[in-house]
Structure 1
Amino acid sequence: MSRDFGKIMELAQKLARTIFLRERIDKVDSSKDLDDGEREYIMQKLGEPSYWLERSRLKKDIDHAHQKDWERLRAHMVGDKKIRHLRAVIKVAAIFIGVVGLTYLGFKENFITDENEALYQQESITLELENGAIEKLTSSGSRPFMNGQGGIVGYQKDNQIDYSGADHQDNQEQPLQYHRLTVPYGKTFQVVLSDGTRVHLNAGTMLRYPVRFVEGRDREVFMEGEALFDVSKDARQPFVVHANQLGVKVLGTQFVVSSYPEDTSINTILLEGSVGLYRASHNMGSEQYTVLKPGFMGSWNKAMGDISVKVVDTDIYTAWTNGRVVFSHLKFNDIIKKLARCYNVSITNNNARLGEATFTATFDIKVESIRDILESFKRNYGFDYDYSIEDNQVNIY
């Protein structure tokens, strides 16, 4: 064996992890990169019956990975300053998939389950009712919610609460009754409001809303965090989102509002329709609107108190609704903020150079753990850093 064989085996194991979690690689032959002793060792291992079944399963997966999947892997991460090609690593490691990778496959289920158990806090989604009572929700729940008079105002089914089918023919003169939905880090949830407006809440989001809207009054909701709104059109009742210092007023449209306390700006991304942005401190009826068109983002700078508008790729800002996270020319220090929300972990970066570096990348948070993502940055960009994960605390050095 060569002196570098241990390193090659280590690279093979890391690559196998990538393959089995993402399934985005084609089969390559790299026997010319190995010496005779290494090839002899591989052939011996490939002949062991204990690996036959696992290899046959792997071969079926690889045979379905066509050239376009290889291109998708290469495009998975593109550095803003320097592109790091994985071709050499892949050539060396692919031959070991049957040996190292398939050994790892036996631990795949435990790896995903155990790590997520350790990193994800089992904090419940909560719903605060109009009387102050707090209900814990699960993504598989099925139950009605009632008001003080015993009438059903909403119904939960799985990962959604629907208020649109309830009987809201009660006295319109009664004061509005609000529910407050809080979605912790690491989870998402959906709400259908009484007018049929759909709201998709991202991790770390709070939404306060009336269980029914009153005729003749604006449909107002209050939020902190990030949410995608698909507003039912009603020309008689504008829909207003209050996001701390920013107000968003619409009739019927689809847009995203991101208003996390730790962010320096409050962003509104318009997908379709039209919205008007205004300072929340202004009196209703005398606002100076900043009007957005589809494909534009309006950013309220918290420190400066002004709104800027620019064209954006809206897919970047809606990817989270499909379980993906997309970074486009984003500093690593800002990236770890988003990762902390997605995975419900606390991330401390002690590497100043890494923190200021910008990256473009896409990850599937449904199948990729926080460890997988940190390994991807380390492997693809070649930064000299290390990290540790203990419970829900991640430290980067």
Structure 2
Amino acid sequence: MDTYIYEIIAKQLSFTSTPEEDAILREWREASPENEADFQKAGKIWQDAQPHHLPRQKQFDTAAAWAKVDQVLQQPVVSAKTVRLPVIKLVAAAVLLIALTAGAWWIASRPSLKVQELAANDGKIRTLELADKSVITLRPGARIKYSEGAERVVTLEGEAFFDVATDPRRPFLVKTPNQSVVEVLGTSFSVKTADAHTTVIVASGKVRLGMENDTSSVILTSGQKGTWGNGELSAVNNDDPNFMAWKTGILQFNDQSLVEILPQLTDFYGKVIRIEDGYQATAAQQKATISFQNQSCDEVLHELQLLLGFNYKQEGDTIVIGK
């Protein structure tokens, strides 16, 4: 167990640990002051091994490092009970030092592998083109983390549209906060994370939606929608023509009732829109076939008002629809 913990420490300090490993390490650190002290010592080793302490072209001598480990292993053992754990700690610490020193030099020589982050937090759509020519479009409020290394892995919070460059040798993975994973070879699709759910809608190609470290998954093809949440996976045909409206600016409604239209306007404009209780039955019968492009919420409601004959008013931050 000691060796395993030190391996996780090495991975965390070099930004390669998984969320599960981070949780194990956190629990181990909180278990005793001694464990926390060991972690701090490891961090000091890592800090001392950073690039400014290493010659730029330094070659790491693996053989010499393992020779030092071998010296530890050759020390006489008096009792398995009294010596086993200290020896394991010494070996683990030596292995950790090897990993950290080599890792510091390798990361310093490959700056493109550093994790980068892009957020669409200014109310505008943001577009990112990766080194492999894959294009990611972030909806306002979304955030993505990525690195430009050999693996094509990104972490998404919020909603984004992906147009992934085909590379059969390197699957493209999208990870989300609820531990779901979208795996692709080459396709275009949208991913939306909200609360404990992940929704994937495929525009072209094929993707796999599942849970990280779990064999269960669903295959989604063009025109399908997959959802993961509360331990359940589902795949259905996508019946929402407006799933890309936030990107295209186009809203389309085909013989839909006002009750069906308003939630889509709420999502698109980020407005709170409700129907008065006494008007619910009428709103369910009022249907429209209409489209809008790059229009304000007030303009859209005004056109629907002229078409369907309802009234609306602003009450604080809420738009109220009524007779």
* TM-score class, shorter: 0.5 to 0.7
Distance between the aligned counterparts of 2:166 and 2:157, measured in 1?
A: 23
Distance between the aligned counterparts of 1:348 and 1:313, measured in 2?
A: 22
* Equivalent residue number for residue 186 of structure 2: 252
1:167-316, aligned counterparts within 5 Å?
A: 171-172=109-110, 176-185=114-123, 187-210=124-147, 212=148, 214-215=149-150, 217=151, 219-245=152-178, 246-261=180-195, 265-279=197-211, 282-283=212-213, 286-300=214-228, 302=229, 304-312=230-238, 315-316=241-242
* Equivalent residue number for residue 347 of structure 1: 272
Distance between the aligned counterparts of 2:263 and 2:127, measured in 1?
A: 22
Distance between the aligned counterparts of 2:255 and 2:232, measured in 1?
A: 23
1:312–1:375 distance in 2 versus 1, CA, 3 Å = same
Larger Rg: 2
Report the AA paired with residue 274 of structure 1: K
Range that drifts further, 229-238 or 308-317: 308-317
TM-score (norm 2): 0.55
Q: Check whether the contact 1:255–1:269 (CA below 8 A) recurs between aligned residues.
A: yes
Distance between the aligned counterparts of 1:269 and 1:375, measured in 2?
A: 31
State the shift of 1:307 in Å.
Answer: 2.0
Unaligned stretches of 5+ residues in structure 1: 1-147, 150-168
State the shift of 1:277 in Å.
Answer: 0.4
Q: Deviations for 1:288-342, whole angstroms, at most 9, x for unmatched residues?
A: 2211121211123x3x431221223575323443211235687867755543454
Match of 1:372 among 299, 302, 305: 299
* Equivalent residue number for residue 251 of structure 2: 325
Q: Say which structure is richer in helix.
A: 2
Report % sequence identity: 24
1:308–1:173 distance in 2 versus 1, CA, 3 Å = same
Q: What is the aligned residue count?
A: 214
Distance between the aligned counterparts of 2:248 and 2:221, measured in 1?
A: 24
Q: Check whether the contact 2:250–2:293 (CA below 8 A) recurs between aligned residues.
A: yes
Distance between the aligned counterparts of 2:108 and 2:260, measured in 1?
A: 47
Q: Check whether the contact 2:127–2:136 (CA below 8 A) recurs between aligned residues.
A: yes
Distance between the aligned counterparts of 1:316 and 1:341, measured in 2?
A: 10
1:324–1:209 distance in 2 versus 1, CA, 3 Å = same
Distance between the aligned counterparts of 1:259 and 1:360, measured in 2?
A: 30
Distance between the aligned counterparts of 2:256 and 2:191, measured in 1?
A: 19
Report the AA paired with residue 271 of structure 1: A
State the shift of 1:278 in Å.
Answer: 0.2
Root-mean-square deviation (Å): 3.7
Distance between the aligned counterparts of 2:161 and 2:275, measured in 1?
A: 33
* Equivalent residue number for residue 320 of structure 2: 396
Distance between the aligned counterparts of 2:261 and 2:269, measured in 1?
A: 12
* Equivalent residue number for residue 65 of structure 1: none
Report the AA paired with residue 252 of structure 1: G
Q: Give 3-state SS (helix, strand or coil) of 2:109's partner.
A: coil
Distance between the aligned counterparts of 1:305 and 1:360, measured in 2?
A: 37
1:46-85, aligned counterparts within 5 Å?
A: none
* Equivalent residue number for residue 99 of structure 1: none
Q: Higher relative contact order by CA 8 Å / sep ≥ 6: 1 or 2?
A: 1
